[in-house]
Amino acid sequence: MARITFVALDGSAKSYDAAEGVSLMRCAVDNDVPGIVAECGGACACATCQVLIAPDWLDRLPVAGPNEASMIDEDSGERGMVRRLSCQIEVTPELDGLVVHVPSSQY
């Protein structure tokens, strides 16, 4: 179990307990976090579950695979954070306290 905080575009934050092994995308969608679309259902195919994560968390996340990397523009970071596909990040105990920001657009 890890406590994950989602920050909406308007700055409002909500936190949820996510079970280990569940993806950040699933946690967001199950809790109706606005702005996380996840059109393909979590198969690394649509790039509509993008989130922004602060750089100091990156070493605790799995490295983006080639398929994920092929869908994210290198210069698409926002507010000093990097974009990732939330379906490709499984919750681990190490991610307890992670803060995830919803990007300005999925498209």
- Please tell me whether residue 107 binds other proteins under the rule CB under 8 A: yes
Amino acid type, 32: D
At closest approach, how far in Å is the CB of 51 from other proteins? 16
Amino acid type, 90: E
Q: How far apart are CA 73 and CA 47, in angstroms?
A: 11
Residue (13 or 43) nearer to other proteins, CB = 43
Helices (H), 1-107: 24-30, 66-69
At closest approach, how far in Å is the CB of 71 from other proteins? 5
DSSP string, 41-70: SSSSSS--SEEEE-GGGGGGSPPPPHHHHT
Residue (27 or 95) nearer to other proteins, CB = 27
Site for other proteins in 37-76 (CB under 8 A): 39-41, 43-47, 65-67, 69-71, 73, 76
By CB under 8 A, name the binding residues for other proteins: 39-41, 43-47, 65-67, 69-71, 73, 76, 105, 107
